[in-house]
Amino acid sequence: MTLTMTSAGGLVGFFIIAILTLHNAGLGDTNVISLNEPDVPFPPACPTVHNLAAICHSGHGRPRYPPNFFPGSRFSHFRRRGSAINRLESWFSLCCSGQVARQSHLILCCTRQAWKQALSQFCDEEYSTMTLPYECCAERGEARWMCFDSELPNPNYSATPDYTPPQVPDEPGFSFDSNAC
C-alpha cells in the first residue's frame, strides 16, 4: 500500500512540475517578451496630413534595421519587418525630395503609395515562407490597409531622441504614379 501512495504522490508531483514548466515556457497567450527579441516597432502608420511633416523631416531620426541588427537565427519574421521599414523609409525619402517635393500636393499621395507598396511587398515575403504570415496580410483590399493602420507603435512617425540611423542602402522598386492621385 505504501508503494501505491508513493507512486501516486510522485505522479502528482510530476504533473505539477510539468504544468509549471509549460506555464513558464511562455506557451499560450502571454505577454512575456523575450529579452533577446529584437525591437522592431511594426506596423508603420499610414501617411496622413497629420504625420506627413514628421515623415518628411524626421526620417533621419527613426530606426533602420541593417542585417547585423538581428540575431543569427529564429527571428526571420523580425528581419522581414525590418526590411519593410527600411524599404518604406527609403521610398519616403524619394517622396519628400526631388521632383515630387516640388509639387507639395503630391507628397501625401506618393507616401501613401510607398506605404501600400512596401506593405504589399512585405506580405508577399511573408507568404513566401513556411511560417504563419502577419495577420494583416490575410486581409484584402481596404480591410488590409485598415488592419495595418491599427494598433500602431509610432502613429506620428516621431523621431527617436539622440538616434542616428546606420547607413542602409536605398531600396529599388518604387515608382510613384502621379496619375493615381
Secondary structure (DSSP) of 65-82: --GGGS-SSS-HHHHHHH
Q: What is the pLDDT of residue 35?
A: 52
Evaluate whether residue 22 is within a structural domain: no
Kindly state whether residue 66 falls inside one of the protein's structural domains: yes
Mean pLDDT, range 18-27, rounded to an integer = 39
**Percent of all residues in the chain with a pLDDT value above 70, rounded to a whole number:** 80
Considering its fold, how many domains does the chain have in total? 1
**Are 87 and 123 spatial neighbours (Cβ–Cβ below 8 Å)?**
no
Of 7-11, 65-69, 112-116, the poorest mean pLDDT is in 7-11
Instruction: Give, to the nearest 10 degrees, the angle between helix 107-127 and helix 76-95.
Output: 160
Tell whether 65 is covered by a domain.
yes
Residue whose C-alpha cell reads 493615381 in the numeric block: 180
116: Cβ–Cβ under 8 A, 6 or more apart, which residues? 145
> Is 16 within a domain?
no
- What is the extent of the structural domain holding 101? 52-180
19 located within any domain? no
More confident residue, 4 or 149: 149
In this prediction, residue 39 has a pLDDT band, given cuts at 50, 70 and 90, of: confident
pLDDT confidence of residue 101: 79
DSSP three-state, residue 61: helix
Sequence-ordered list of residues with C-beta below 8 angstroms from that of 44, at least 6 positions apart, any chain:
84, 85, 88, 115, 118, 119, 152, 154, 157
CB 28, CB 72: distance < 8 Å: no
Asked whether residue 129 carries a pLDDT value surpassing 80, the answer given is yes
In a domain, 46, yes or no: no
Residue 11 has pLDDT above 50, yes or no: no
